[in-house]
Structure 1
Amino acid sequence: LDFKAASARSYLLASFIGHYACCAADTWASELGVLSKSEPRLITTLRRVPPGTNGGVSVLGLAMSALGGAFIGALYYAASLPSGTAQLQVVTLGLLTGLFGSVLDSVLGATVQATYFDRSSRKICDESEPQADVEHICGVDLLSNEQVNVVSVLVTTAISGTVATYLFP
């Protein structure tokens, strides 16, 4: 990435890295964060919530999120080695944009995506399952999980180029 010689190309490449870093970070946080021994906390209030709650985070999940983003940066770095254009800062770009995107996804999940808990089965459930023992945990029913993912990826993609201008002066 060379913003002095090829600013548009560098901005687009950084956005590309940020896009995939966000996707990987969110996936790693969701899939590996559930292995945490500690109960997740709602990102907006830090209240303890059941595993699987939209917007629920753990230290392990956040660490996996950063690692997932850094992994995308490391892949780009490794792919750049043969051309002689590899820059180690790209790993930092992946880490930062991945973590940002995952945290944004959690904030959106906690606020604009409804989460319900079935007390009898002790599991997160879909609101469309009419049961008397279902409790609303957080969020308004504005966006689906897929829509939250799209918004967080689009925002992260949009800011990644700007973030890169500070990492690659």
Structure 2
Amino acid sequence: MTLFLTLLVFLIAAGAWLKKSLTTGGAAAAVFAGLSSIFGFGFSGLAVMGTFFFTSVFLEKILHSTDKIEEKGSRRDAWQVLANGGAASLWALGNIFFPLPVLFVGFTAAYAAAAADTWASTVGKRSRKKPVLIRSRTEVENGISGGVTALGNTAAVLGSLAVVSAAYIFNQGFIHPLLLLTVVVIGFAGQISDAWMGAVYQRLFQCRICGKKTEKMIHCETSTTLVKGKMFMTNDLVNFLTVTGSSAAAVILYLLFTGNS
């Protein structure tokens, strides 16, 4: 079974690369995340990761959601893959050496938060209403990090629920209703935290030629000016921090309320 799943991961990564969903580096990072999931949690781990990956790619393809404002295009590179799957991979690797139920909780919560953020940003761009910054409630253009919509928030809950449902279906030890609900809520909270950090700390530039605000360092073939946030605070870093924080919160709550690991 492990050999079959390993081959499956390589085939899926290769297919995503051929379909231009992943860059070469992104495909390599996806293989790492997939193998970590398999060796850490077996088929249930791959099912949770696969739910996040396939639903995210599917939504992005059918909704054509990539915006010219965003720093990167529709092909996910290694940093994007690790920003969403790096924390989960660490929980999976930890389970190889120290197999504990709590690690699967952290693993699931990480992908639940990643799915919530991805679904929110992808589906939210189809909203008829402009997004508003979560902190100031002022309207912004689609693609600006920190903007939220009611449609996007609804999608975030559904994305988190999809991942947690996969964990429930394929890991029968992950069945306590309160635990399921808690991880879904934490996944959604991760998306809200992501939006807040995006609005406050993530870097945003302005084009010197056309005046348009963008996440890109080059626009209209010239360098842009930093107008908000910290230069080092990229969208990938924001994603990694919020996903990691969400999974850590799930682990802490699990330990507090169950009294065991």
Gaps in structure 2 of 5+ consecutive residues: 1-98
Asked if the contact 1:102–1:152 (Cα under 8 Å) also holds between the matched residues in 2, the reply is: yes
Q: How many residues get paired?
A: 159
| 1:152 matched residue in structure 2 | 242
| 2:128 matched residue in structure 1 | 37
| 2:201 matched residue in structure 1 | 112
Q: Structure 1, residues 59-103: CA drift from partner, whole Å, max 9, x if none?
A: 11111111111111111111135x7x6333444133212111111
Match of 2:148 among 57, 62, 67: 57
If asked which structure has higher relative contact order (CA below 8 Å, sep 6+), I would say 1
**Residues 141 and 89 of structure 1: CA distance in aligned 2, closer, same or farther (over 3 Å):** same
| 2:137 matched residue in structure 1 | 46
TM-score by length of 2: 0.53
Distance 1:78 1:168 in 2: 21
Whether 2:211 is the aligned partner of 1:128: answer no
| SS of the residue 1:92 aligns to | helix
Distance 2:161 2:256 in 1: 17
| 2:232 matched residue in structure 1 | 142
Q: Structure 1, residues 9-31: CA drift from partner, whole Å, max 9, x if none?
A: 23222111111101111110111
TM-score by length of 1: 0.78
Gaps in structure 1 of 5+ consecutive residues: 1-7
- Superposition deviation, residue 112 in structure 1: 1.5
Distance 2:197 2:140 in 1: 16
- Superposition deviation, residue 123 in structure 1: 7.0
Asked if the contact 2:198–2:238 (Cα under 8 Å) also holds between the matched residues in 1, the reply is: yes
| SS of the residue 1:68 aligns to | helix
| SS of the residue 1:146 aligns to | helix
Distance 1:167 1:70 in 2: 21
Deviating more after overlay: 90-99 vs 119-128: 119-128
Q: Structure 1, residues 89-133: CA drift from partner, whole Å, max 9, x if none?
A: 44413321211111111111111212245595967451333689x
Distance 2:184 2:119 in 1: 12
Distance 2:105 2:214 in 1: 36
Whether 2:100 is the aligned partner of 1:9: answer yes
Whether 2:181 is the aligned partner of 1:88: answer no
**Residues 137 and 55 of structure 1: CA distance in aligned 2, closer, same or farther (over 3 Å):** farther
Whether 2:182 is the aligned partner of 1:100: answer no
**Residues 64 and 166 of structure 1: CA distance in aligned 2, closer, same or farther (over 3 Å):** farther
Distance 1:72 1:40 in 2: 25
The structure where helix makes up a greater share of residues is 2
**Residues 40 and 137 of structure 1: CA distance in aligned 2, closer, same or farther (over 3 Å):** farther
Q: CA RMSD in A?
A: 2.9
Distance 1:167 1:38 in 2: 40
Identity, in percent, stands at 25
| 2:50 matched residue in structure 1 | none
Asked if the contact 2:210–2:220 (Cα under 8 Å) also holds between the matched residues in 1, the reply is: no
